[in-house]
Amino acid sequence: MPTSKESDLTTAVLLYAVRCLDEGDQLALRSMQFGPKEVDALQQLNITDLCRTGTFRGHCLQVQLDREVFWHLVARLRQQRESDQLQLTLMQADAPQEMMRALFGLGSKEYARWRRLLGFTAAVGRPSEPDEEPAHALWLAWQAQAGDDGEISLTGEDYLALKDATGLELRTIWCLTQRWTTYGNPEGESADDH
């Protein structure tokens, strides 16, 4: 028998209340207006009783929206959605695992799963070194974003902008910028030298 939206709400709230009871979260139960008699009744419910709430057409709840919490939740969901989209864009651009771990905490198993899903084969070896001209263009673009000493951490968007500006692969960009961050420019150049 199909359930109604009201019965789905009742079942979800009762399951939440039973879990609060099980975890001893009296504050949450009180905030939902569960008094001693209602708590007693919750303790008597079994799984069959909870399943039967799906057959009811109404509900026993007064639902209120906490606008402040709601908008905070919406903002967090939006941020997560944007982060997920950025991660997908970076993965589609063949971002190296070290970059994804540094920027998003993505572990090697999750990274490998994403690569398989996107149809990439395993990357083997270090990326090839670019010619002098594209490497210098990357150096200048990187300095403009990260500062002369690379003291400003780059975001995923920054790395994509470097890829667009130079035409270099993300693996090459990551390898060189990490080297420059650690050791500086091996030629000792600054953006002002050219």
Res 190: pLDDT: 45
168 domain residue, yes or no: yes
Domain count across the chain: 2
Query: pLDDT tens-digit profile of 45-69?
Result: 888 888 888 777 777 888 788 899 9
What residue numbers bound the domain in which 168 lies? 132-193
11 domain residue, yes or no: yes
The crossing angle, in degrees rounded to 10, of helices 170-183 and 156-166 is 110
103 domain residue, yes or no: no
95 domain residue, yes or no: no
pLDDT of 180 over the 80 cut:
yes
Query: pLDDT tens-digit profile of 10-38?
Result: 888 899 999 999 999 999 999 999 999 99
91 domain residue, yes or no: no
28 domain residue, yes or no: yes
Any idea what DSSP says for residue 94? Answer: T
**How confident is the model over 166-170, as a mean pLDDT?**
93
| Confidence bin at 185 (pLDDT 50/70/90) | low
C-alpha span between 98 and 70 (Å, rounded): 35
**How confident is the model over 113-118, as a mean pLDDT?**
89
Backbone angles phi, psi at 23, to 5 degrees: -90, 0
| Confidence bin at 183 (pLDDT 50/70/90) | confident
Domain endpoint, select from 55, 73, 89? 55
162 domain residue, yes or no: yes
Contact 53, 7 (CB under 8 A): yes
Res 102: pLDDT: 95
Domain endpoint, select from 55, 71, 92? 55
